[in-house]
């Protein structure tokens, strides 16, 4: 699906990032956009560490049902290890071939996942198929051009981020999502921007966890001088100590629905 492979170690690293204050706050905003009601049936495409599924389950309650699917068996195993309630289930699944019946969900959510799937239009088609008429979908995606990350060596920063872009199939997906929704048959109901801003470098920030992922991914590609990824990463602590650290990134949240004929 992408250049990122989530084995057990990577799954554990991703889980730590998803527990930072920044991502917890983003998850709360996603829940706000979902506007769930008790008893609803919800599908999370690319459920990752499962934290959003757990929040959804708390909102829909035992009269509802939540299903999380992810391509990574290691991530699914970590979700199941937390002993979810009976009405929250997880399965290894492909976003382009969802093993669920037509019109079986009230809500489908997909956060930071569609951009990793080469055939993203198929993801939208499958989302449309499994939604009930009148059902709604929430998609969250990053445009990697929206990242502003200060460095004393801007040329190296630009080279690192260019190399990082290949970690996903569609690094600028939000720009085309409205048109893609329309082609899939959806009605676009709205969109909003959620920004993450870090002015310090420490473990409870999204950007520090992201930086480790970027460093390791770019190092494996061997496109840049071998010392660049480590030196790029190490600079951030020095910038933070000097009061010069700056990171911001935008998440684009789209709300769509399957129209009632």
Residue 180 lies in a domain: yes
* Structural domain total, the chain: 1
The dihedral of CA 234, 222, 46, 73: what is its sign? negative
Residue 223 counted as domain residue = no
**Below-50 pLDDT ranges, the chain:** 1-2
In a domain, 25, yes or no: yes
Domain that holds residue 63: 8-143+170-197+250-257
Looking up residue 87, the CATH number of its domain turns out to be 3.40.50.150
| Residue 109 located in a structural domain | yes
- Return the pLDDT at 8: 63
Q: Considering the domain boundaries, does residue 37 fall inside one?
A: yes
DSSP track, the chain: --S----HHHHHHHHHHHTSHHHHHHHHHHHHHH---TT-EEEEET-TTSHHHHHHHHHH-TTSEEEEEES-HHHHHHHHTT---TTEEEEE-BTTB--S-TT-EEEEEEES-GGG-S-HHHHHHHHHHHEEEEEEEEEEEE-GGG-EE--S-HHHHHHHHHHHGGGSS-TTGGGTHHHHHHHHTPEEEEEEEEEEEESS-STTSHHHHHHHHHHHHHHHHT-S-TTHHHHHHHHHHHHHHTT---EEEEEEEEEEE----
Closest by CA position to 5, among listed 63, 54, 75, 83: 75
Predicted confidence at residue 137, as pLDDT, reads 98
Give pLDDT, residue 2. Answer: 46
Does residue 222 fall inside a structural domain?
no
The verdict on residue 226 lying in a domain is no
Measured CA to CA, the distance from residue 246 to residue 151 in angstroms comes to 9
Give CA–CA dist 161/145, Å, rounded.
9
pLDDT of residue 6: 53
With CA atoms as reference, report the closest residue to 98 among 75, 126, 131.
Answer: 126
Cα 4 to its chain centre, rounded Å, is 13
Q: What is the pLDDT of residues 59-69, one digit of tens each?
A: 999 999 999 99
pLDDT at 261: 86
**pLDDT of res. 1:** 38
3, part of any domain? no
């Amino acid at each position: 699906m992408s250049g990122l492979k989530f084995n057990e170690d990577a799954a554990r690293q991703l889980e730590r990032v998803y527990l930072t204050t920044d991502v917890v706050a983003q998850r709360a905003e996603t829940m706000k956009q979902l506007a769930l009601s008790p008893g609803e049936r919800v599908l999370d495409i690319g459920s990752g560490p499962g934290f959003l599924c757990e929040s959804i389950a708390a909102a829909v309650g035992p009269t509802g049902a939540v299903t999380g699917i992810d391509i990574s068996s290691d991530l699914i195993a970590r979700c199941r290890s937390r002993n979810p309630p009976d009405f929250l289930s997880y399965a290894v699944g492909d976003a382009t071939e969802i093993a669920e019946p037509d019109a079986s969900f009230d809500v489908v959510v997909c956060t930071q996942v569609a951009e990793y799937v080469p055939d993203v239009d198929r993801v939208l088609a499958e989302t449309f198929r499994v939604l009930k008429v009148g059902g709604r979908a929430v998609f969250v995606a990053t445009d990697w051009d929206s990242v502003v990350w200060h460095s004393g060596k801007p040329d190296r920063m630009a080279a690192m981020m260019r190399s990082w872009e290949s970690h996903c199939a569609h690094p600028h997906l939000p720009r085309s999502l409205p048109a893609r929704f329309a082609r899939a048959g959806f009605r676009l109901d709205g969109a909003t921007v959620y920004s993450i801003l870090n002015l310090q470098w420490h473990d409870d920030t999204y950007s520090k966890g992201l930086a480790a992922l970027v460093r390791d991914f770019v190092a494996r590609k061997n496109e840049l001088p071998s010392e660049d990824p480590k030196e790029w990463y190490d600079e951030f602590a020095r910038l933070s100590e000097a009061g010069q650290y700056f990171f911001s990134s935008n998440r684009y949240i789209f709300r769509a629905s399957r129209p009632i004929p």
